[in-house]
Amino acid sequence: MGRRRRPAELAGAAGALPEAIAALSRALPAGPSPETFRRAKFDRPEAAPALWRLLFRVLSPPRADGASASRALEAQARWVKAALLTQGYPRLRLARLPDDGSQGSRELLLALSWLLARKPLLEPLLARTRVRLGDELPAFECGALASPSLPAPRLEADGPVDACHLQWLMGKLRFRWRNLMASQQEQCALLGKIHMYTRGCHSDCRLGHLSVAETELLRDPEGGRQLLRRLESENARLGAALEWWRRELVFWQWMDTVLGACPPEAPQPACPPGLGGRGRTAGAWDPAVWELQALQEELQAAVGARRAAWAARVRGQGPEWSAARQAAQEATREAVGRELAALRQAWERGGGPQPHGPLRLVRTEAGAPGGPGLRAVEAIGALKSREACLEAALHQLQAQCRQQLARLAGALPGLLWIPPPGR
């Protein structure tokens, strides 16, 4: 094990590594035993399945259910490979590993370390499985409707369908949404009542009332014990994570040696141009480019008109007028610059000032000053603007389609296209 001289905190590096690995394996969900890590360094095949499963668990999107976790090792291995490559995993050797999940433990160990090194991996995992005691509403979470990670195995015998079938499916979807809305309203009414009834019962005065989970806890001792157990296991994982963060330096040094133990990769030849067969149809790029180009054209026209009008006005006024207004113009320019910079933030930073993640619902008296926390009124305002944005986007897409179809219709003479009523 290559040992680099470091300050005193690493005295005893010989013992620190096993503990670091042990902490990591306790902190990870479905963490393999420390022995697996050691075996993986030497690329032992018996360590591979556990690592495939771990990577699958770690990479699946948050809402993956139990069904996908119990898929065959082969399916999981294939999925993990594709997922890692999508994320930009640099090593080619991963793609060459056999699908049956029987080999490649060292490569998988490297992949896991790569994921750990790039961006925080443990924190989101811990937050995901956190025991939640409050009634929560994911007010600003994106992707709350992310589709399941592995779709249920489809019958391969699906034949071609008619457009009517698609329309039927869309109608079914609309119906399900209506049901969902109705159920949600009912749930909110019930939550409101429970919060109101349990007012004054919570020891934390910021909250003031119990949530459903807490009320259930007090009603049902068995449930309370179960909750306690879950909390204890969560605490164990948190403790392990803290220990991992204290000790992880020695792990990275060890990983350097693991990487060194790999045989070097032959440099790849330049990729042969194209593999033939699959040509590009309308790429998903094109809508984005269309939209921006269309917008650019519109803006050009608008700017041109306004510029001309402005120039005419300035000409009509005379030079002393312009000189007098210089300062005001400067101020306006700055103000507009700031406004546009703020606008840019809206998509660049991807969030804005809204808190992310689920928020705990707390019922308060209207008009009471209340403590820290987001007011529902503000959240409603933010959501309304987001809704308006999305509606505009949808209408724009539909308008694009209409334009395209109208163009096609124009090319077919001898037919009248009557749009549906109400348009």
Partner 1 sequence: MLPLGCSRRLVAELRDALDTCAERQRQLEQSLRVSRRLLRTWEPAETPTPTPEPTPGPETNEEAPSSAGTPSPQDLKELELLTQALEKAVRVRKGISKAGERDKASSQKSGSIATSATTAAAPHRASQTKLPRGTRQATRPAKGLPKPKLLSAGDQTCIGRGPLAAKPGPGLRDQQIAPSAAPQAPEAFTLKEKGLWAQLSSTQTSDSMDATTSSKTQFLQKMQVTSGWPSSGLSAAEVEAEVGRLQKACLLLRLRMEEELARDPTDWMQEYRSLLTLEGLQAIVGQCLHRLRELQPEESDKEVPGCHPTRPRSPVLTEVVEQQLGPWPEERLPMASLPCGGGAEPTWSPQLLLYSSTRELQTLAALRLRVDMLDQQIHLEKVLMAELLPLVSMQEPLGPPQLALCRAVHSLLCEGGQHFLTILRDEPAD
User: Restricting to residues 5-34, which ones interact with partner 1 according to CB under 8 A?
Assistant: 6, 9
- If the CB atoms of residues 38 and 374 are measured against partner 1, the closer one turns out to be 374
132 binds partner 1 (CB under 8 A): yes
Q: Of 66, 273, 318, 319, which one interacts with partner 1 (CB under 8 A)?
A: 273
Cα separation of 204 and 372, whole Å? 13
Q: Total residues at the site for partner 1 (CB under 8 A)?
A: 243
Give which of 46, 47, 17 is closest to 31, Cα–Cα: 47
Tokens encoding 284: 């998903």
Within 163-220, where are the H helices? 163-197, 212-219
326 binds partner 1 (CB under 8 A): no
217 binds partner 1 (CB under 8 A): yes
- If the CB atoms of residues 46 and 401 are measured against partner 1, the closer one turns out to be 401
- If the CB atoms of residues 46 and 143 are measured against partner 1, the closer one turns out to be 143
Instruction: List, in order, residues 6 or more apart from 138 with CB less than 8 Å away.
Output: 144, 357, 358, 359
327 binds partner 1 (CB under 8 A): no
> Kindly report the CA angle at 192 between 190 and 196, in degrees rounded to 5?
115
Span 383-422, contacts to partner 1 by CB under 8 A: 383-384, 386-387, 389-394, 396-398, 400-402, 404-405, 408-409, 412, 414-422
137 binds partner 1 (CB under 8 A): yes
Cα separation of 43 and 104, whole Å? 6
Q: Of 2, 66, 272, 318, which one interacts with partner 1 (CB under 8 A)?
A: 272
103 binds partner 1 (CB under 8 A): no
Tokens encoding 264: 């070097």
First and final CA of the chain: distance in angstroms?
Answer: 74
- If the CB atoms of residues 33 and 150 are measured against partner 1, the closer one turns out to be 150
Span 244-263, contacts to partner 1 by CB under 8 A: 245-246, 248-249, 252-253, 255-256, 259, 262
333 binds partner 1 (CB under 8 A): yes
Cα separation of 366 and 364, whole Å? 6
312 binds partner 1 (CB under 8 A): no
Span 280-309, contacts to partner 1 by CB under 8 A: 280-285, 287-289, 291-293, 295-296, 298-300, 302-303, 306-307, 309
Give which of 197, 142, 218 is closest to 389, Cα–Cα: 142
73 binds partner 1 (CB under 8 A): no
Q: Of 219, 320, 326, 353, which one interacts with partner 1 (CB under 8 A)?
A: 219
127 binds partner 1 (CB under 8 A): yes
Q: For helices 212-219 and 163-197, give the axis angle rounded to 10 degrees.
A: 60
**Neighbouring C-beta atoms of residue 27, cutoff 10 Å:** 21
Tokens encoding 350: 């991807």
Q: Which amino acid is at 342?
A: A
